[in-house]
Amino acid sequence: MTPIDVNQLVFRSMTLDDVPTIVAIELESFATPWTEEAFVNELTNNHFARYMVMDLDGRIIGYAGMWTIMDEAHVTNVAVREPYRGQGLGERLMVELQRTAVMFGSRRMTLEVRVSNSIAQRLYKKLGFEPSGIRPGYYSDNMEDALIMWAELPVSAEVEQLYDDK
């Protein structure tokens, strides 16, 4: 596949019309994917929820979500369509999610990641996340533990400068 021109990517808020595509990406990406109902509920009933899509030429190729509560953001989902993986797009998506979290007043961000997922852990560490604990048996498909990671986010005046090179 031809490398993606990151200047062609568009990041926007997820809409209800996006949900079927998001569910398809979930099925490609996770052993225990979220359902259509879960995403509809997040978009319509959860006032803490912030979801975005990554669009390339009118096609959604990735998405990410978080809950912003007080000054903390909790990452709920991050996924890139299978054919587009390995090109740094997950990093672009996470950087955009961090920018958005700062815009909503977040100072810290947290997430859980499978202890066996070293690729994701490397990405998160690159973006300033540090391990802070374990959630035993967190993943229901195989009772795998989750590594809890936290990152301090820059204050809004520092955001563009910090992320411009990413």
| DSSP letters spanning 1-23 | -PPP-GGGEEEEE--GGGHHHHH
Q: Which domain holds residue 98?
A: 6-163
Look at residue 1 and tell me if it is in a domain. no
Which residues sit opposite 112 in a β-bridge? 148
Active site residue 112: yes
Residue 162 has pLDDT above 70, yes or no: no
pLDDT for the residue numbered 7: 78
Which of 26, 42, 51, 124 is catalytic? The answer is: 124
Q: Exposed/middle/buried for 75, CB within 10 Å: 0-12, 13-18, 19+? A: buried
Instruction: Find where tokens 């959860």 sit.
Output: 46
Active site residue 63: no
pLDDT (tens digit, 9 = 90+) per residue, 75-98?
999 999 999 998 999 999 999 999
Which of 26, 42, 96, 112 is catalytic? The answer is: 112
Q: Would you give the end-to-end CA distance of the chain in angstroms? A: 22
How far apart, in Å, are the Cα atoms of 150 and each of 3, 85, 97, 112?
Answer: 31, 24, 14, 9
Look at residue 63 and tell me if it is in a domain. yes
Please state the domain count of the chain. 1
Q: What is the CATH number of the domain that holds 19?
A: 3.40.630.30
Residue 158: pLDDT band by 50, 70, 90 thresholds? low
Look at residue 20 and tell me if it is in a domain. yes
Nearest to 89 by CA among 116, 59, 122, 123: 123
pLDDT (tens digit, 9 = 90+) per residue, 23-52?
999 999 998 999 999 999 999 999 999 999
The predicted model scores a pTM of 0.88
